[in-house]
Amino acid sequence: WKLENRDPFLFFLVSFFHVLFPFVLNFPDSSAFNQVDYLLSFGGNSLWCKMVVRQYNEELKYLEKISSHCWRIKKGFQPNMNVEGVFYVNDHLEKLMLDELRNACRPGMVGGFLPGVKQIANVAALPGIVGKSVGLPDVHSGYGFAIGNMAAFDIADPKSVVSPGGVGFDINCGVRLLRTNLWEKDVLPVQWALAPRVSSQ
């Protein structure tokens, strides 16, 4: 990191970003990576940063088509992934997702949204995630989480995140956070009767 203006607030901001999103900044050194420079500006201050990216063919080694409409994202696609990712797409959306990744790998292509595939993998690196980071059939780039990205977190894990607005900042994109004093053992016997009642509200 090279600070152009050693402003304490900017230093705090960058440090805070690094704590929240270490998987974005901690890439291992590898011959498969290219380094690119980009400028982070905030409140009149600027900071030159280095980010490393892989070539498109290297990225594809972490993606596996496991059925006609399902892709697996292997651990290692993004650093610190706790679980694998998976996304479901038709032929049209598959092309869009892969084109988005291909374009992001082109020299000089920095800034803007991360490709949806990368965002699914970043969610897989969040503390406490269980199962998989899932991209549903409407998946596309979002503001951190991909739009259509689904994830569940184990609240028994003290480092686990709670993110009711993983994607939406305004209407929350229809996401709901439910809290109850019931335990799993209380809900399992009545889950099939309960599900239609919850969805009808």
Residue 138 marked ligand-binding? no
Please say whether the beta carbons of 87 and 70 come within 8 A. yes
Q: How far is CA 17 from CA 24, 132, 133, in A?
A: 9, 24, 21
Cα separation, 97 vs 93, whole angstroms: 6
- Non-local (6+) Cβ contacts of 5 within 8 A are 45, 46
Tokens 């970043």 label which residue? 122
Enumerate the known binding-site residues. Answer: 170
| Residue numbers belonging to the annotated binding site for Mn(2+) | 170
